Structure 1
Amino acid sequence: MKAVAPSALSEEAMVSLLGREDAIHDSFFYLCGRLLSKKAMVLSSFSAAISNIWGLKERILIRQEEEDIFVFQFKEMEVKNRVFSKGPWLYNSSMLLLADYDGVSALEVAQLHLLEVRVVVRGLQIAMRNEKALTIIGRALGTLFELTRGRC
């Protein structure tokens, strides 16, 4: 079989390699992430620490793909989903932003500039416990995705 340089492949050939059910790919599951820190970091120490923080039995494989973007490789989808849904995560007092990643797409499309958090406002006066006031408060904190009112 003759090897072909990626640049010599037609767009149709690339789509057939990557875009169908019988695509050639590995059997791993991925997250990509960005650590919001300017501190220097040793990748092996980061891998050991984050594996421990996430409660993993084995050390996770991490690849540094760009200066500040990491790809985390998981053997099981359930473990990846648990890590992704249980955040936010901190490493060395710095926030780690995570995004789901398919292992194929360009890393630039990953949403690594937003962090979705749930905020509970306690002690709010009764007159401020209405949808209009809560929407204003929510927008002041950032982008408001959902408003839920519960007991205060």
Structure 2
Amino acid sequence: MAAPEITDRCAQLTLADVDDEGISLQVPDHTVDDGVEDDGFYAVGRLVTDKPVRFAYFQDTMAGVWRPAVGVNMRELQPRKFLFRFYHDGDLTRILNDGPWTYDQSLLLMKRVQEGVDLESIPLTHADFWVQIHSLPVGLRSASVVMAIGSFLGTFVSTDERNFDGGMQTFYRVRVSLDVVKPLKKQMKLKRDSGEWAVVDFKYERLPKFCFLCGVIGHGDRFCLKALQDCNLNAVKPYGSWLRVNPGRALPNQNQCWIPPESTIERRRWISPVMAEAASHTVDIHGEGSEIQGDRTTCMQPTVSMDSDELPILNIGDQKRRRVLQSASIGQASASVSIGESTYLDNNGVPAGLAVQARQDQ
């Protein structure tokens, strides 16, 4: 910026003491252009905890969990508040859709930063969760009912496309945006057309640390105000770990290739090992054997031929193996084992075994 231009702009400014009332100054917005194009995609995040966080450990952990294809840079704006810079929109979109994320059992709230928006004006109070709806009675199992339940839980985002695809569903999934300063909802009452009431239960996927007394995410029972107000600490707590969807132990997958998906759409694309074998190989029977045309491998049935002056010969394809005949002479001091024209005896004059003979042949 030239010196005369700076002088002209400063001449238009009015300086006043902060205690003077009724004096305001309107300054036109001016964006500094340094000539370098910003190719980043930004997000701002906040950890819902009051514990101190070591930024170096946080950065290393989250980068290892996210594994962005084009990389990510992080900067600590305030204690427990961070700025993330990704270099591809696909990385940022994937990470936001795969949330919520946690660090040291604390929830990480993340929001995309739009161009021209001040970071301080972005609210970091909501997080998207997948919630499972259990005990939904027959007659109320529809997409509209699931969407209505999602709006009851929080701000509706989406539903699982596999909810009503013909599978044997025991629960239904809905993605909602939850206000983390409000208690989690445990159940909901639904009224049928007949006037009867039905109660559905909720379970939250990837639910971080929350209080079993007040149901708010971000602290435990020991640091809750209700723990000080309620003297009976042995009473049954209104919340519990049953609100979480436990990942459980690793399930066996050795024979999963024989179990088709329950989803109708996915099952139509599923192929069993037998179906895959039939699709990739064509089996033809020719005479004594069978020839697999798919991989050009010949598998001939074995045949045995016997000549009067020769040993029995086992023919497998083009390979021949000569049988071993043992002959023992009764009344003789020693016995011999003959393979062709060779005879092997051990050190004591006893016929050597086949394994010993094989070593001697080598």
Q: Following the alignment from structure 2 to structure 1, what is the Cα–Cα distance between the partners of residues 91 and 144? A: 39
2:86 is matched with: 74
Residue from 44, 51, 54 that aligns with 2:63: 51
Q: Is the 8 A contact 2:52 2:79 kept in 1?
A: no
Q: Is the 8 A contact 1:47 1:60 kept in 2?
A: no
Q: Is the 8 A contact 1:36 1:94 kept in 2?
A: yes
2:45 is matched with: 33
User: Structure 1 pair 102/133, CA: closer, same or farther in 2 (3 Å)?
Assistant: closer
SS at match of 1:49: helix
Specify the code of the residue in structure 2 equivalent to 1:118: W
Q: Following the alignment from structure 1 to structure 2, what is the Cα–Cα distance between the partners of residues 144 and 77? A: 24
Deviation at 1:92, TM superposition (A): 0.8
Quick check: 56-65 or 84-93, which moved more? Answer: 56-65
Quick check: 90-99 or 68-77, which moved more? Answer: 68-77
Q: Following the alignment from structure 2 to structure 1, what is the Cα–Cα distance between the partners of residues 90 and 45? A: 18
Q: Following the alignment from structure 1 to structure 2, what is the Cα–Cα distance between the partners of residues 123 and 137? A: 13
SS at match of 1:116: strand
Q: Following the alignment from structure 2 to structure 1, what is the Cα–Cα distance between the partners of residues 69 and 148? A: 44
Does 2:129 correspond to 1:117?
A: yes
Q: Root-mean-square deviation (CA), in Å? A: 3.6
Q: Is the 8 A contact 1:62 1:73 kept in 2?
A: yes
SS at match of 1:124: coil
Flag structure 2 segments of 5+ consecutive residues without an equivalent: 14-26, 170-362
Q: Is the 8 A contact 2:43 2:113 kept in 1?
A: yes
Residue from 52, 65, 68 that aligns with 2:77: 65
Q: Is the 8 A contact 2:70 2:86 kept in 1?
A: no
User: Structure 1 pair 119/60, CA: closer, same or farther in 2 (3 Å)?
Assistant: same
Q: Is the 8 A contact 2:76 2:82 kept in 1?
A: yes
Does 2:103 correspond to 1:86?
A: no
SS at match of 1:44: helix
Flag structure 1 segments of 5+ consecutive residues without an equivalent: none
Deviation at 1:104, TM superposition (A): 4.2
Cα deviation 1:9-60 (Å, max 9, x = unaligned): 9414x1xx27xxxx86522211111111112111111110000010246873
Determine which structure has the larger strand proportion and give its number: 2
Q: Following the alignment from structure 2 to structure 1, what is the Cα–Cα distance between the partners of residues 140 and 39? A: 51
SS at match of 1:81: helix
Q: Is the 8 A contact 1:51 1:58 kept in 2?
A: no
Does 2:28 correspond to 1:11?
A: yes
Aligned residue pairs: how many?
145
Quick check: 112-121 or 126-135, which moved more? Answer: 126-135
1:42 is matched with: 54
TM-score (norm 1): 0.71
TM-score (norm 2): 0.34
Between 1 and 2, higher relative CO (CA 8 Å, sep ≥ 6) is seen in: 1
Percent identity, aligned pairs only?
24
Find the structure with the greater CA-based Rg: 2
Specify the code of the residue in structure 2 equivalent to 1:89: W
Q: Following the alignment from structure 2 to structure 1, what is the Cα–Cα distance between the partners of residues 90 and 144? A: 39
User: Structure 1 pair 139/74, CA: closer, same or farther in 2 (3 Å)?
Assistant: closer
Q: Is the 8 A contact 2:75 2:84 kept in 1?
A: yes
User: Structure 1 pair 130/100, CA: closer, same or farther in 2 (3 Å)?
Assistant: same
User: Structure 1 pair 125/67, CA: closer, same or farther in 2 (3 Å)?
Assistant: same
